[in-house]
Amino acid sequence: MADPWSQYQQVVVETYYAVKAGKSSRIHVRPVPGQPFPSTMDVECSRSMRKQYPVGTQFRIYAKETNKEGGKPFLYSHFDWPFEVVD
């Protein structure tokens, strides 16, 4: 059986207040600078992670780059997966 994590990599991300209109939540997640992904990339992940900690908190998550039907690429991490708060 293949390793289910093989398509995912650890990425350090942070929460921030979004100023874009039309988003479902004002608290968003982005990769921190120095990661293999640009800090302008959106991250889809646990809503509870975003709400449990102050905005600006950094987390280490497992994520992979994806897109929906040819849309803008984003990082995906399942909402129920573990995460680690980075000091």
Give the per-residue pLDDT at 44: 94
* pLDDT one-digit tens code per residue, 3-16: 666 789 999 999 99
Q: What is the pTM of this model?
A: 0.85
Give the per-residue pLDDT at 37: 96
* Fold for the domain defined by 9-86: OB fold (Dihydrolipoamide Acetyltransferase, E2P) (2.40.50)
* pLDDT one-digit tens code per residue, 28-87: 999 999 999 999 999 999 988 988 999 999 999 999 999 887 789 999 999 999 999 997
Distance CA 57, CA 7 (A): 25
* pLDDT one-digit tens code per residue, 19-43: 765 656 689 999 999 999 999 999 9
| pLDDT(1) > 80 | no
Question: What are the residues whose beta carbons fall under 8 Å from the beta carbon of 40, sequence distance 6 or more?
Answer: 30
